Amino acid sequence: MRAAVVTTFGGPEAVEIADVERPEPGAGQIRIKVAAATLNPVDAGVRSGAFGGAGTRRGLGWDVAGTVEAADVAAGWQPGEAVVALHYGLANPLGTHAEHVVVDASAAAKAPATLDATHAATLPLNALTAAQALDLLDVRAGQSLLVTGAAGAVGGYAVQLAAHRGIEVTAYASAADEELLRGLGATHVVPRGTAPAPADAVLDTAVLGAEALAWVRDGGAYAGVIPGAAPAPERGVRTAAVEVAPDGARLAELVRLADEGVLTTRVAETYALADAVKAHARLAEGGVRGRLVLIP
């Protein structure tokens, strides 16, 4: 089968489309015939060598939407079922940017009934990250949440999830994104470069660090999106960073919210798997609203 991999680190040109052996599911696993797979910033990090692994093959892709093709008998899935899943890992020799991928059965959920595979593929990594970050913050209905980088994929899902829970959301983003963010549920939109009012909690998807920490009220909570890189606590503010974890049951809840129209999926552009280098180059340009999706 064909898969996008890197064996040497660098820019978009480091991505190779290789012929590799089709993976077989082990105990508690399923093999998915990939219909669509999202390109995320973490893939650019793997490609550039930000996570190490020189001299080894690294697969690309964490999100997948597709069809169960083979399953361990105890996995609980049947061939032909449409699913979405998170294929977690910085050191996988194969990722979801491939024609087939094997994932743990517990990482998969039934695909949304109302979305095509291209849009469904944008849910697993980004929506799970947003949901698990809100868990870390433990922000409740009636409290206030500031989301930096709110127009991005994780930020956008966080705005929607928080607003759905009755949380007052302030979005910190480009002024050009105000209409988008209010449509996602933000009560307030603060343009970049303007200091927002203190909030009970801050989700810092823009990785501003200490600057965003200063916008948390005393005794509040801060969550970043780079594991191990949260700023030190101060003023009684709890600080943490989310490290997304596969969770099929939680993903199923997010699928339900997508089907109910609570979560809006955003696809910027699609690329054939063979054009993965072009997709990486587009991601590197920046300014993407929504996700880039690869189609095998």
pLDDT in tens, 66-101: 999 999 877 789 999 999 999 998 889 999 999 999
The CATH number that domain 2-123+265-295 falls under is 3.90.180.10
165-182 pLDDT, tens digit each: 999 999 999 999 999 999
Residue partners of 91: CB distance under 8 A and separation at least 6? 51, 53, 56, 58
Give mean pLDDT, residues 158-164: 98
What pTM was computed for the model? 0.95
Would you call 56 helix, strand, or coil by DSSP? coil
Confidence band, pLDDT 50/70/90 cuts, at residue 52: confident
User: Environment class of residue 78 by beta-carbon count within 10 Å: exposed (0-12), middle (13-18) or buried (19+)?
Assistant: exposed
Query: Does the pLDDT at position 235 exceed 90?
Result: yes
Q: What is the CATH number of domain 126-241?
A: 3.40.50.720
Model confidence at 277: pLDDT above 90: yes
Q: Are 159 and 181 in contact (CB under 8 A)?
A: yes
Q: Could you report the per-residue pLDDT of 200-221, keeping only the tens digit for each?
A: 999 999 999 999 999 999 999 9
Q: Where are the domains of the chain?
A: 2-123+265-295, 126-241
C-alpha distances out from residue 66 to 34, 114, 199, 225, Å: 5, 14, 40, 27
- In this prediction, residue 149 has a pLDDT band, given cuts at 50, 70 and 90, of very high
